[in-house]
Amino acid sequence: MAAVTYLEAIRQGIWEEMERDPEVFILGEDIGVYGGAFRVTAGMLEHFGERRVIDTPISESAIVGAAIGAALMGMRPIAEMQFADFISCAFDQITNFAAKCRYRWGAGVPIVIRGPSGGGVHGGPFHSQNPEMYFVHTPGLKVVAPCTPYDAKGLIKSAIRDDDPVIYFEHKFLYRRIKEELPVEDFLVPIGKADIKRKGSDLSIISYGAMVHQALEAASTLAQEEISVKVVDLRTLVPMDKECILESVKKTSKVILLHEDTRTGGIGGELAAIISEEAFEYLDGPIMRITAPDTPVPFSPPLEEFFLPKASDIVRIARQLAAY
Amino acid sequence: MNMGSQLMLDMLYYMSLAREMENRIERKLYRQGKILGGVYVGRGQEAIAVGSCIQLEPEDCVCPSHRDMGAYLIRGFSPHTIFAQYLGRKTGPARGKDGNLHMGDMGKRTVAFVSMLADTVPVAVGIGMAYKMRGQKNVVLCYFGEGSTSRGDWHEGLNMASVQKVPVVYICNNNQYAYSTPLDKQMAVASVADRAQAYGMPGVSVDGNDVIAIYEATRSAIARARAGEGPSLIECRTFRMTGHSAHDDASYVPKEQFEEWEKKDPLRRLEARLLQDKAASEEELKQLGARISREVDEALALAEADPYPEPLETLQGVYADWTMEAPLAFAGQFFAQEDR
């Protein structure tokens, strides 16, 4: 069985769900004839036809609005944002309409809004953002951000089957950089469950998305120095797997919160609050954050390199924390 | 048009019921402090929702706006539950989670709008897409005011509706004021209907106080939609015979405008037509008024006797698969349940 890329895993997940359930369809900009800016939907128009693979005008708000309307009728639309950055154009439909329907009038809105997020590809300020926290802050939405092909496929399938709106961030840096062999049979990764990507006993690094790979690289380096690092991949930001987070912190007593999103208002602050409220007695050192700085994502290579957290930053902070 | 007298009587019933309910809501319950928050009524605009919605089939869908009480009544929301909604009771369609006409029920094929007006314009596109994908010959009626046509979602929605050729009829309550902003500060085109041309769909302007004209215009647009020929825009020119909401005395509206439009009242016009056609007598109209008044009294008494939701209802219904404990836990469980 050949290994598949992260991108191909997402494509397979969508494909299989469209085969399984005739109510699933996709809409977005350039997803049909062109197969999507990153080719996630390549071949789908030819296979599923233009009724279920819908090229739309450049209208993110109407794309999401239309997805909501179809979902209210019991369909299962998947709306693509060509870049996650453009999700801001649909912010109102997502946060005011989709997120609040169930609470206000009991109407489920089973939509998936997916798109490529994150930096590392010299995309500049408008093709590199990590907009997850706007949505993490909105009750009624679920937010997922996988970092491996297995999780990407399992989570897109779970997102499509979920009865509530799910925002699915796929990290574009990972699209073709990582490969993995996937099971032949149908499988799901549950929304709301974190995953231990590496076992360790001295400190925990809690992260998600592309940063998990930086954490794993740092953990390998640190292992040579006899520092044993546990890497927790959140996979889902809402609902949060608090149990896994607290269990990890209680075992290692030291924790680094790592994300590519900017610092202020990032998930790290929320995690730090949860940990200090519920695992304070177990801590043997300060809760450390490693994040992007509070700036837009810059374009020029030395600037973007500086902006993105990297394994060397993690190694440095982890050494300090281990010695604390 | 040779319209059946029963149909005209039905329309008069819904228009009168909407007005009587809104009179109670705005002029009584709000002033008594029994209804809190925003109250927006459609006095003077009742013909629009009624003349259009009354011809729908059950499987057709409606996206009403905040002055379309008649749409809710025709879709089967009872006066009792509507009053309960305004009063914040557990028995309202939003179970106290939202107020006024912010309510819906997909079982009744009625979508709950949000305060960001025009948001339902693209939502209606998606409903129409669902009908098309399933091969159904149904239509969506989507309502908004002229102020909504200044929003981006309106333009994105109309454009996509036309490109996708969905079976949607867009109906504008052009009541000439968006809160305090008059038409000429809202748009530089002469009529909302003119905007249709930009999106490649037919746009017509009708007298929004003439229920028969509205019925007719909507009938053609619905026939076009069912035939797979795509969306239409109908502008219904009317006047808001009240403030933007119950707290607003509308002092910015010239008195003469109210006086002029009072003479064009849609209810009185329909009554005159019924009398002229000898479809109803003065006595029958009086009886209808008394019947509605009684119906409203009873519904209101029921709603006022209904319980408020339990405070813990706040935590329920955010997600399909979350129990009440889950959001509590997610919030950090600052309060043990027994403390609440």
| ipTM > 0.90 (yes/no) | yes
* pLDDT for the residue numbered A11: 98
- Mean of pLDDT values over B29-38: 94
Kindly tell me if the per-residue pLDDT of B54 is higher than 50.
yes
Are the Cβ atoms of B133 and A239 closer than 8 angstroms?
A: no
Q: Point out the residues of A that are catalytic.
A: 127
What's the pLDDT score for residue B313? 87
What residue type is B8 in one-letter code?
M
State both tokens at B298: 């009873």
Interaxial angle between packed helices B5-23 and B211-226, expressed in degrees from 0 to 180 and rounded to the nearest 10: 110
Q: Report the amino acid identity of residue B126.
A: G
Q: B260 vs chain A: nearest CA distance in angstroms?
A: 38
pLDDT at position A245:
98
A136: closest chain B residue by CA: B330
Q: Which chain A residue lies closest to B110 (C-alpha atoms)?
A: A72
> A61 to chain B, minimum CA–CA distance in Å?
6
Please report which confidence band the pLDDT of residue B339 belongs to, taking 50, 70 and 90 as the band edges.
very low
Q: Quick one: pLDDT at residue A322? A: 97
Distance between CA atoms of residues B119 and A2, nearest Å: 45
Read off the tokens for A18. 């469209």
- CA distances B42 to A61, B147, B165, B214, Å, are 28, 15, 31, 16
Give me the pLDDT at residue B2, please: 59
Q: What DSSP line would sit under A17-75, residue for residue?
A: HHHH-TTEEEEETT-SSS--TTSTTTTHHHHH-TTTEEE--S-HHHHHHHHHHHHHTT-
Given a cut of 90, whether residue B1 has pLDDT beyond it is no
Q: Which of A173, A126, A85 is nearest to A297 (CA)?
A: A126
Find which of A24, A59, A102, A112 to mutate to test the B interface (most B CBs within 10 Å of its CB): A59
- Pairing type for strands A288-292 and A255-262 reads parallel
Residue among A97, A107, A108 minimizing CB distance to B119: A97
Q: How far apart are CA A156 and CA A153, in angstroms?
A: 5
Q: Give contacts of B124 with chain A, Cβ < 8 Å.
A: 69
The pLDDT value recorded for residue B122 is 98
Rounded to an integer, what distance in angstroms lies between the CA atom of residue A223 and that of residue A172?
A: 29
Helix (H, G, I), strand (E, B) or coil at A77: strand
pLDDT score at B144: 98
Question: Omega into A239 within 30° of 0, i.e. cis?
Answer: yes
Can you say whether the dihedral through the CA atoms of A232, A238, A243, A247 is positive or negative? positive
pLDDT along chain A (324 residues), means of 10: 94 98 98 97 98 98 98 98 98 98 97 98 97 97 98 98 98 98 97 98 98 98 98 97 97 98 98 97 98 98 98 98 97
The reported pLDDT for the residue numbered B328 is: 60
pLDDT band at B329 (very low <50, low <70, confident <90, very high): low
Amino acid at A312: S
Q: Select the more confidently predicted residue: A128 or B322.
A: A128
Contacts of B106 in chain A (CB under 8 A): 72-73, 107
* Segment B274-293, tens digit of pLDDT: 999 999 999 999 999 999 99
Taking the Cβ of residue B119 and every Cβ of chain A, the question of whether any pair is shorter than 8 Å is answered with yes
Rounded to two decimals, the pTM is: 0.96
Query: Cα-flanking dihedrals φ and ψ of residue B262, to 5°?
Result: -60, -35
Closest chain A C-alpha to B81 CA, distance in angstroms: 13
The dihedral region occupied by B254, where left means phi > 0, alpha psi between -120 and 50, and beta the remainder, is: beta
- pLDDT the model gives residue B337: 47
Is the CB of residue A156 less than 8 Å from the CB of residue A13? yes
Q: CA-to-CA distance for B41 and B178, rounded, in angstroms?
A: 13
**Tokens 């590496």 label which residue?**
A198
With cut-offs at 50, 70 and 90, classify the pLDDT of residue B340.
very low
pLDDT digits (tens, 9 = 90+) for B81-103: 999 999 999 999 999 999 999 99
Query: pLDDT at position A76, please?
Result: 98
User: Using CA atoms, how far apart are residues A233 and A213, in angstroms rounded to an integer?
Assistant: 10
Q: Is A107 on the interface with B (CB under 8 A)?
A: yes
pLDDT at res. B4: 87
Number of H helices, E strands in chain A: 12, 14
Q: Is B38 on the interface with A (CB under 8 A)?
A: no
Per-residue model confidence (pLDDT) at position B332 = 52
In sequence order, which ranges of chain A are alpha helices (DSSP H)?
6-20, 44-48, 60-72, 91-92, 101-105, 132-136, 149-161, 211-223, 242-252, 267-278, 301-307, 311-323
Sign of CA dihedral A276, A281, A282, A288: positive
- Residue-wise pLDDT for B245-258, tens only, equals 999 999 999 999 99
Cα–Cα dist A56/A33, whole Å: 11
